[in-house]
Amino acid sequence: MNGTGTEENPYIIMTADDLYSMKTSGGSEVYFSLGADIDFNNTPYAENFVPITINCKMFYGNGHVIRNINYSRPDSNASMFIVSCDTTIDNLKTENIRLCARNVFLFGNSGKRCNISLKHCIIIMNDVIILSQASPTLTNKYCLMHEHNMKVYADYCTFAIKLQAEKSYPFFSDNNVSHSQMKAEIYINSSANSGNSYSAFLSESVISDSYFFLKINAPESDNISSFDFSSSGSSFSSSYLVCEPAGSISLINWNGSLKSVCFYDNILVRKNNTDVAVKSNGNTVNLYALNTEQCKNPVYLRSIGFNCVGADE
C-alpha cells in the first residue's frame, strides 16, 4: 500500500487484500484511506469471506463502496467487520451485503471495549437472517450494529436493511444517533415476542434529529400483536417515525423520554383500514400523530415546535 499511515499521509487501500492488511499494518494511531471501490466478487474471499479487521484511528471511505459480501454461519455468529480499537469511519458506503447466522453484527468485538464513530456513512445491508432464539439482556447487550461491550456514535448517516429474525432484534443498543435516517423492512417469525426492553428496535439509545421508515411484517396466524420501536431507556429529540405494519400487529410501542417534539404518520401506520395504536410511556405532550400532509409541511411542523426547514429554504 502507498502511504505511511499518518494523518497527513494515510495508507491507501485499493484492493480486498489491502483491506485485510489493516489487521497487521494498523494500530490505534494509524490512518487508512479507501482509494477505490472494493468488489468482493471474483476475489478469493467471495466464497470464503472472513470479517475485515478495522485496526486504526481513522478510516476514510472517501465515498467509495465495499460491496458483494455473502457470509453464512448458521451455527455461530457473523459480522462484516471486527473492530480492535476506538475508531472513526468517515464517508464509507456498503451495499449488497448478505449475512446469515445465529446472531449478526455489522461490527464484531475483538475482545476489547471499543467506541465507533460513523460520520456521513451509507450502510446498506440487503439481506440479514438472524436464527437465534435468544434475547439480549442487561449483561449481554447486543444489536445488529455491534456485538456486546461496544458503542456506536452515528452522525449524518443513512442505514437501510432487510431483516428476517426469529425474535425481536435491536438495530441500535446503547448508541447515540443524530442527523441520520433509517429504512428497514423487518420480517418477524412466529416465535417473536415483545416486552424485553433490550430487544426493542432502538434499545437504550439517544436519538436526535433522525427519521425512521419501517415496514414490519408478522404472520397473522401467530397473533404477534405488538412491536417495540424503542425501549423505556431511550430518549428522542426532533425525530419522527413512518411505520407500515402488516399481519397481526396492532400496537407500536414508542417508549422512552421525548425531550422535544417528535411525531409519526398516523395515516400510513394504519393497516386494512384499521388503526394501529402508537403508545408511549414518555412525555406524550411532545408526541404528535399527524396525517401525511402535515408530516411533509415544514410550516406546520414548525408551528408545533418541531425543528426543521423546508427543501427550498
Give the single-character DSSP code of 259. -
Residue 183 has pLDDT above 70, yes or no: yes
Alpha helices, H only, 10-89: 16-25
CA atoms within 13 A on the CB side of 9: 4
Mean pLDDT in residue range 201-209: 95
Residues whose CB falls within 8 Å of the CB of residue 98, separated by 6 or more in sequence, listed in order: 69, 70, 71, 125, 126, 127, 128
Rounded CA-CA distance 42/24 in Å is 24
Q: Do 251 and 221 meet the contact criterion of CB atoms below 8 Å apart?
A: no
Contact 238, 306 (CB under 8 A): yes
Give the CB-side neighbour count of residue 282, counting CA atoms within 13 A. Answer: 25
Round the average pLDDT of the chain to a whole number and report it: 90
What's the mean pLDDT in 175-198? Answer: 83
Read off the pLDDT band of 276 (50, 70, 90).
low
CA 83 vs. chain centroid, Å, equals 16
Identity of residue 34: L
- Edge to edge, the sheet with strand 150-155 lists 11-13, 31-34, 58-60, 87-90, 114-119, 150-155, 176-178, 206-208, 235-237, 257-258
Across 36-45, 217-226, 263-272, least confident range:
217-226
**Higher per-residue confidence, 181 vs 166:** 181
CB atoms within 10 A of CB 77: 18
Residue-level pLDDT at 222: 62
Q: What cell was used for 166? A: 426469529
Quick one: pLDDT at residue 245?
83
Helix (H), strand (E) at residue 302: helix 298-303
pLDDT in tens, 63-104: 999 999 999 999 999 999 999 999 999 999 999 999 999 999
Inform me whether the pLDDT recorded for 191 exceeds 90: no
Residues ≥6 apart with Cβ < 8 Å to 213: 181, 182, 183, 184, 242, 243
Per-residue pLDDT band for 272 (boundaries 50, 70, 90) equals: low
Q: Which residue has the higher pLDDT, 185 or 42?
A: 185
Q: What pLDDT shows up at residue 42?
A: 86
Are 34 and 65 a contacting pair, CB within 8 Å? no
For the whole prediction, is pTM greater than 0.85? Answer: yes
SS (H, E, C) 67-94: EEEEEEEEEEEEEEEEECCCEEEECCEE
Q: Which of 48-57, 82-91, 101-110, 129-138 has the lowest mean pLDDT?
A: 129-138
